[in-house]
Amino acid sequence: MAKCPYCEKPVSISTTGSDKTNEVRKEVKGIIKKEILYSCPHCDRVLGFGFFIGVSLTGRP
């Protein structure tokens, strides 16, 4: 399991499983790019950014 680099508490990126308390918060920014902001559920610090995988499939002809 991943750890938050700031508060060193366990965080989980996967939505599968039952540990919802450790699940990172995912905030979607943008309509076309679908940038995802991940933040720690314990200390609210930003952990990083991600992108939907499907963008490259749907964004171009």
Which residue, 2 or 55, has its beta carbon nearer to Zn ion?
2
| φ/ψ of residue 49, rounded to 5 | -120, 155
Told to check if 24 binds Zn ion by CB under 5 A, we report no
Q: What distance, in Å, lies between the first and last C-alpha atoms of the chain? A: 38
20: left (phi > 0), else alpha (psi -120 to 50), else beta?
alpha
Told to check if 43 binds Zn ion by CB under 5 A, we report yes
Told to check if 47 binds Zn ion by CB under 5 A, we report no
Contact with Zn ion (CB under 5 A) among 12, 42, 50, 52: 42
Told to check if 6 binds Zn ion by CB under 5 A, we report yes
